[in-house]
Structure 1
């Protein structure tokens, strides 16, 4: 018997605003955001997603949309989905939700994306001290390949993946997040809380407690793992009844670190998934590292699909910053130096430094912590496949 067509549980219309979608979206994590659909473990289902900004970035040459983008609204997520077993019993706190990515890609008729550098005063990025102004590159898709008029001479296969896959936190876990992140809290306005009516007492309660979707946390969330493509599996802890699975932030391609912040090739897209409930899986498989049993982390099983490259240029960075100041085993400083070294080198071949920064954010480059014990220097490397360039070898 031929496999069934995936059941569409969350459709989207890219021509409509996020709050106009047929199935409500949300842009915060909270246990009381109600599920929009039930999914039975083992069934193949399809989730569609708008791009993370809700369609506010245009297919044009101007970066004004990036410069003035309201970042308090993002990300827009599809879900939550309540996961039940074949007898209708929902996933329970303490279970693990195993999610298999069976298929994914851009939405038909919307085969384009963008990579951007945010303005220093509006989001910034990993290298914002060097690149303080907004920039944007548009990418067009030809099957598995992407090319950009703003970065000519480059074409590469994308490893498409969701930036965000996560389950809802329990109220206890949400309180842990809010307490530890309080000093770093951003503006928490402009929340989209699914079908909860704005202005009601319930809306105000959830809005005051809900967490941003920007960082990855114990529930998975915005992990931005570039290899999490077709055939991959995600093992997420379950903190609330039904798991309340949400996903979004689709990427056609991404470099390790997504260093410009809006650094992948951002796009609308779809996922076709299957779920399995592993009863009691948190205790069995996810060891807490922290003060409570809730301090666990997801496990990711990378699938067999990825571009194959044989030749790479590798740039090294150490934990000495641009002023010459020594930092003790600081991998962030080391990776920054590796990225700057790559940008300086590639800008000798006709590209502006802004173009290279955008490229390193979204092309299939590999970042590594090569040394983290040889004090005082951490060592990071950034490897770039030479096959992405149409021109002659950049190592000549």
Structure 2
């Protein structure tokens, strides 16, 4: 099996990066990923104030997929996420939704127990729920891995986990795929600015669809289909984009009229927050697969 070292990680999604590796469609790669804090935190005593924000959220890659061309769709099937046995959550000054009232700094290191849980003090035990924060392809113009957009990026969406397929629009030859920012667990919103940030080994099969043009990321889980949108204009803008994408998907794939699709999302779908702390906020619209006959 192909392995890609965390030493290939970059801090931007960009067509200017030379490929770390070239693969054929359908091949599987094990990505070694750095923790989002780039190994800057090791104990509760390590201050969140010392974080160098120029070296966070690295994405391992990029991977050049032969035959992927602008207008195609890259399919990233997430087969397995194996997080490190420890991670850290932080409140970083100047970051987080309540930064004006709870500014930090504050650091908490977590260790995975033999039963797969993590202790948070003496009264809370957290289950291990690994997910990918940053996953994307190179856009036409470089963008930091801290942000998100039509190319994917720092989506921080808890549904991006093993057993799911991420669909990403291809903007440049080869797609130039990268992945990183794994969380041992994270809540929707990522309100303080981090989940339990950890390194990991992530196994992904990459393929190309030439018959499925999309404008923004889509996600399929065993139970749901989801559209994902990011917007610097805030939640209302992101929700509108994700909702319009879902309506279009249902029209094309399920043969519904625009009105039927819109109503179906209202009576059977969910609007969920991904994260509300990055330069562009992220939401997804989810519809259960089991309702279709």
TM interval, shorter chain, is 0.7 to 0.9
Change (3 A) 1:221 1:331: closer
Name segments (4+ residues, structure 1) moved above 6 Å: none
> Shift in Å at residue 211 of structure 1?
2.1
Query: 1: distance between equivalents of 2:116 and 2:271?
Result: 21
> Shift in Å at residue 63 of structure 1?
4.1
User: Which residue, out of 130, 145, 158, partners 1:213?
Assistant: 145
Name 2:70's counterpart in structure 1: 93
Contact 1:80–1:244 under 8 Å retained in 2: yes
Query: 2: distance between equivalents of 1:267 and 1:367?
Result: 27
Normalized per residue, the structure richer in strand is 2
In structure 2, stretches of 5+ residues that fail to align are: 224-233, 237-269, 274-293
Query: 2: distance between equivalents of 1:38 and 1:143?
Result: 38
User: Which residue, out of 150, 166, 179, partners 2:136?
Assistant: 166
* SS of aligned partner of 2:189: coil
Contact 1:77–1:247 under 8 Å retained in 2: yes
Query: 1: distance between equivalents of 2:21 and 2:57?
Result: 20
User: Which residue, out of 38, 41, 55, partners 1:54?
Assistant: 38
* SS of aligned partner of 1:266: coil
- Equivalent positions of 1:137-216 (< 5 A) are 137-142=108-113, 145-148=116-119, 151-170=121-140, 174=141, 210-216=142-148
User: Which residue, out of 207, 210, 213, partners 1:279?
Assistant: 210
Once the two structures are superposed, what CA deviation does each residue of 1:1-22 show, in whole Å capped at 9, x if it has no partner? xxxxx321x124xxxxxxxx3x
| Residue 15 (structure 2) pairs with residue 38 (structure 1) | no
Contact 2:75–2:209 under 8 Å retained in 1: yes
* CA radius of gyration, larger in: 1
Once the two structures are superposed, what CA deviation does each residue of 1:132-156 show, in whole Å capped at 9, x if it has no partner? 121111111135733235x321112
User: Which residue, out of 185, 205, 214, partners 1:253?
Assistant: 185
Query: 2: distance between equivalents of 1:368 and 1:237?
Result: 22
Normalising by structure 1, we get a TM-score of 0.55
> Shift in Å at residue 73 of structure 1?
2.4
| Residue 83 (structure 2) pairs with residue 70 (structure 1) | no
Once the two structures are superposed, what CA deviation does each residue of 1:60-100 show, in whole Å capped at 9, x if it has no partner? 22142x1121112222110000112xxxxx21110001111
Name 1:235's counterpart in structure 2: 167
Once the two structures are superposed, what CA deviation does each residue of 1:103-149 show, in whole Å capped at 9, x if it has no partner? 1111xxx41001111123xxx21011220121111111135733235
| Residue 108 (structure 2) pairs with residue 134 (structure 1) | no
Once the two structures are superposed, what CA deviation does each residue of 1:10-42 show, in whole Å capped at 9, x if it has no partner? 124xxxxxxxx3xx3210122111111012222
Change (3 A) 1:101 1:143: farther
| Residue 10 (structure 2) pairs with residue 11 (structure 1) | no
Change (3 A) 1:41 1:26: same
Change (3 A) 1:303 1:266: farther
> Shift in Å at residue 277 of structure 1?
0.7
Change (3 A) 1:245 1:143: farther
Normalising by structure 2, we get a TM-score of 0.73
> Shift in Å at residue 368 of structure 1?
5.2
Once the two structures are superposed, what CA deviation does each residue of 1:288-337 show, in whole Å capped at 9, x if it has no partner? xxxxxxxx211011246xxxxxxxxxxxxxxxxxxxxxxxxx969xxxxx
Name 1:117's counterpart in structure 2: 91
Query: 1: distance between equivalents of 2:235 and 2:170?
Result: 31
Query: 1: distance between equivalents of 2:69 and 2:112?
Result: 41
* SS of aligned partner of 1:265: coil
- Equivalent positions of 1:230-379 (< 5 A) are 230-261=162-193, 263-282=194-213, 286=214, 296-303=215-222
Name 1:102's counterpart in structure 2: 79
* SS of aligned partner of 2:173: coil
Contact 2:119–2:126 under 8 Å retained in 1: no
